[in-house]
Structure 1
Amino acid sequence: MKSTTKLVNLALLIAVMLVLNFTNLGLITIPFSPLKVTTLHIPVIIGACLLGPRYGGILGFFFGLLSFITHSFVAPVVTSFVFTPLYSLGDYHGNFWSLVICFVPRILIGVFAGLLFQALTKRDKNTALSAGAAGVVGSLTNTVLVLGGIALFFGQQYATVKSGALLAIIMSTVVVNGIPEAIFAGLLTAVIVRPLLKLYARR
C-alpha cells in the first residue's frame, strides 16, 4: 500500500475515532446486562492490521489523546485523575503517571496488534483468524496495561474512590468489561479486516 493511501486511511480511521468518542457509539451497553463495551480501540486495531504497527501506534496515540481530552475537559468522572494530571478529586491528584496510563497502553494496542497480525499472516494466509487474534490481543493489551498502571501508581486512591478492595475492583472490571471487549474486538476486527484487504489488493 502506498504511503499516500496509508495517510488517507489513517485520517479516515482518526475521523471514525472522533465520531465514536463524541457519541454514544464509543461505549456500547449490552441490553439486560451490566456489560459495557468500549469501541474506541477497534479502529486502532483495524488500522494496525491494515497499515502496520507504526501507523497502529499513531492511531493508539490519538486514542490516548482523545481519552486525555475527554477526562480533562469534556466529561471528567471521579476516576479521571488516573488519566490526566489536569483533574483532581479532593486529595487525589493526577500526575505524570496519569499520562503514562493514558497514552502508553493505547499506543501499544496498535504496535502489538500490528506486529501480531504481520507475524501470523506470514505463517498462515487466514487473514480473518489473524485479524481476530490481533483484535483480542490489542484489546487485552489496553485492559491489562491500564488496570496494571492504575494498580501500580494509584492503587489506594483508586480503591478509595471506587469504595472497594483494589483486587476485587480490578477483577470485576476484567470480567465485566475486559473479556467482553476482547471478544467483541476480535470478532469485529476479523469481519472488517479481511474484505478491506481484498479491496486494497484489487486496487
Structure 2
Amino acid sequence: MEKNLVTSSSLNTRKLVVAGMLSAISIFLGLTGLGFIAIPPVKATIMHIPVIIGAIIEGPIVGAIIGLCFGLFSIYQAFTTPTPTSFIFWNPIIAILPRVLIGVVSYYIYAGMSKAVKKHINLAGIFATATVSFMLFIALKVFLPIQVDGILTAIVFILLSVVVIKFKHTNKEKVLSIGTASILGTLTNTALVLGLVYLIYADRFAKAINVSPEIAGKFIAGIGITNGIPEALISALVTIPVVIAILKIKKK
C-alpha cells in the first residue's frame, strides 16, 4: 500500500514537472517570437505543439493544464501588446477554451488511433491519408494558382494510401497515431478560435480589419485555411519525432 502511494506520488510529481516545463516552452516561444514561422503569405504558429506533446505523453489532464497556460498567456499578450484585433483574446472563452481542448482532443485521438492501428493498421492509415489529402486539396486551391479538381484529389489520395500501406517502419503505428492526433489537435484550436470569433465578434472583427461585415464569415474561413493547414502539417512534422523519442526514453 505504501509503495503504491509512493509510486502514485512520483507519477503526479512527474506530470506536474512535465506540465510546467512544456507550459514554459510554449510561453517562451510566444515571448521570443520563435513560436511563429513565416510561410508566405501567412505566419504559422507552433505555440500549441507543447500542448499536444504533453497530452500524448502524459494524458489529457496534463495537456489541458498546458493548454490553460497557453490560453492565459494569450490573454496577457493581448493586453500587454495590443493590436486592432486583440479584443478577441480578451475574452477567456476564446483565449482559453480552445487551447484546453487541444490537449483533450489530441490525447483521445491518439489513444483511439493507437487502438485502431493495432487492429486495423491499413484502415487507420487510409483514414490518416484521407485527412492529409483533404488538407492538401484545400491548400493547393488556396496557395497555388492552379485548378484542382476531384479527380486529382482522388489520385493523390490513392497514391498516399499505397505509400502508407506499404510504408515499412518500426514506428509505423506511432507515426500514424501521433501524426493524426497532431493534425486534428491543431485543427481543433483553429476551428474553435475562429468559429467563436465569428459567433461572438463577427461585426466588430470586420470593422477592425476594414472589411464588409457581409464577408466577415468568408474572411474568417480564409484565415482558417491559410493558417490552420500549415500549422497542422508543421505540428505533425515536429511532434512525431519528439514524441517517439520521449516515449523511447520513458521505456528505459
Name the TM-score, length of structure 1 as normaliser.
Answer: 0.87
Aligned mates of 2:87, 2:29 — CA distance in 1: 22
Give the C-alpha shift of residue 179 in structure 1: 0.8
Aligned mates of 2:95, 2:82 — CA distance in 1: 14
Give the C-alpha shift of residue 177 in structure 1: 0.6
Say whether 1:34 aligns with 2:41: yes
- Which has more radius of gyration? 2
Deviates most, 60-69 or 119-128:
119-128
Give the counterpart of 1:5 among 14, 25, 45.
14
Say whether 1:49 aligns with 2:96: no
Give the counterpart of 1:157 among 204, 215, 227.
204
Aligned mates of 1:116, 1:18 — CA distance in 2: 25
Query: Which amino acid counterpart does residue 82 of structure 1 have in structure 2?
Result: I
Deviates most, 124-133 or 111-120:
124-133
Write the deviation string for residues 99-124 of structure 1: whole angstroms up to 9, x where unpaired. Answer: 10111011000110011112222333
Give the C-alpha shift of residue 35 in structure 1: 2.2
Q: Secondary structure at the match of 1:2?
A: helix
- How many residues align structurally? 186
Give the C-alpha shift of residue 18 in structure 1: 2.0
Gaps of 5+ in 2: 1-9, 119-172
CA contact 1:52–1:118 (8 Å) conserved in 2? no
Write the deviation string for residues 27-86 of structure 1: whole angstroms up to 9, x where unpaired. Answer: 1112xx21211111000001110111111111110010010000012x1111011110xx
Give the counterpart of 1:67 among 74, 79, 88.
74
Deviates most, 176-185 or 165-174:
165-174
Query: Which amino acid counterpart does residue 56 of structure 1 have in structure 2?
Result: G
Write the deviation string for residues 125-182 of structure 1: whole angstroms up to 9, x where unpaired. Answer: 5112111111101110010000000000001110111122212311220222111111
Say whether 1:198 aligns with 2:248: yes
Say whether 1:108 aligns with 2:101: yes
Aligned mates of 1:131, 1:35 — CA distance in 2: 25
Give the C-alpha shift of residue 192 in structure 1: 1.2
Q: Secondary structure at the match of 2:34?
A: helix
Name the TM-score, length of structure 2 as normaliser.
Answer: 0.71
Give the C-alpha shift of residue 2 in structure 1: 2.2
CA contact 1:130–1:190 (8 Å) conserved in 2? no
Give the C-alpha shift of residue 10 in structure 1: 1.5
Say whether 1:184 aligns with 2:234: yes
Say whether 1:135 aligns with 2:182: yes
Gaps of 5+ in 1: 85-97
